[in-house]
Amino acid sequence: MPHPPRVFSFTDDFVFKYIFGRESREPLLIKLLNALLRREGDRQIVALTLLNPFNLKETIDAKSTIVDVKAQDQAGRRYLIEVQVQSRADQIARTLYYLARLYADQLAEGEPFSGLCQATALTLLGHRLFPGHDRVQSIFRFRDVAHGLELSDQLEVHFVELPKVADLLSGKRLEGLHTRFEKWLYVLRYGRRYASGRFCLPRWPSRRTSSWPWTT
C-alpha cells in the first residue's frame, strides 16, 4: 500500500522559506510582518525587497551564516525572519548576532551613520523560550536598566512562542478570531491540520472579520 503523503508544518524551515522567502511571495510576507509586528498607519510595510539570506564572511577567519528570510521595506527598514522549532541553548545569542549583521551591513564605504535604518529580528519558535510568563510575543529594545528610558528603536527583537498560542486563544472559537495577529498565529500553529481534509476553514459572519489573514 502506498504511504500517505507527509504533511509539513509552516514552521518547517524549508516550507517557510518556500512560502515566504521566494520572489513573487513578497505580498504574503508583507501581510505576515504587518500582522506579527503590529504595523499600522504610516508604520505599515507596503513594499518589500528580498535580500540575500547569506551573511558572507568578510575575512578568511570570520563566520559565514544564513538566515531563513531577509528583506528590506520601502523606507529602508530591514527584517530577518527565522523559524526555530527545536530549543537551542544559544538561541538569544544567535538572534542578536544575526540582527547585528543585518544592521551593520547597511552602510557602504563613506556613508554616514545617519543613514542607518531600523533593523528588526522576528523569530518564530516551536518551543517555550520564556517559561516564566504566558505572553506569546516578547519584544526587546535598548532601554536604560534603571529608568526604562529608551535609547533607540533602531534595533528590535521579536520572539513569538507558538506553543503558547493555545493559551492565548483558549476559549475562542475559530469564528471569534478577529485580528490579523490572532489569525496568523492560528495558521502558523495549526495550519497543518487542514491538509487532511477532515477540517474546514471557517467562514466569518461579518465583512469585517470574513477573511483569512493572507487576503487582507
| pTM of the complete model | 0.89
pLDDT at 84 over 50: yes
> 117-143 pLDDT, tens per residue?
999 999 999 999 999 999 999 999 999
Which residue, among 103, 106, 87, 94, has the nearest Cα to 68 in the 3D structure? 94
Residue 51's DSSP bridge partners are none
Identify whether 2 is part of a domain: no
Share of the chain residues as helix, strand and coil, in percent rounded to the nearest 5: 35, 20, 45
Domain range enclosing 164: 13-215
Identify whether 7 is part of a domain: no
Identify whether 43 is part of a domain: yes
Identify whether 149 is part of a domain: yes
Do 178 and 209 form a contact (C-beta atoms < 8 A)? Answer: yes
Identify whether 45 is part of a domain: yes
Please tell me what DSSP assigns to residue 163. Answer: G
Phi, psi (degrees; rounded to nearest 5) at 62:
-75, 165
158/215 Cα distance (integer angstroms): 24
> 159-202 pLDDT, tens per residue?
999 999 988 887 666 667 778 999 899 889 888 776 666 666 55
What is the total count of domains within the chain?
A: 1
Do 158 and 138 form a contact (C-beta atoms < 8 A)? Answer: yes
Do 16 and 83 form a contact (C-beta atoms < 8 A)? Answer: yes
Identify whether 6 is part of a domain: no
Identify whether 3 is part of a domain: no
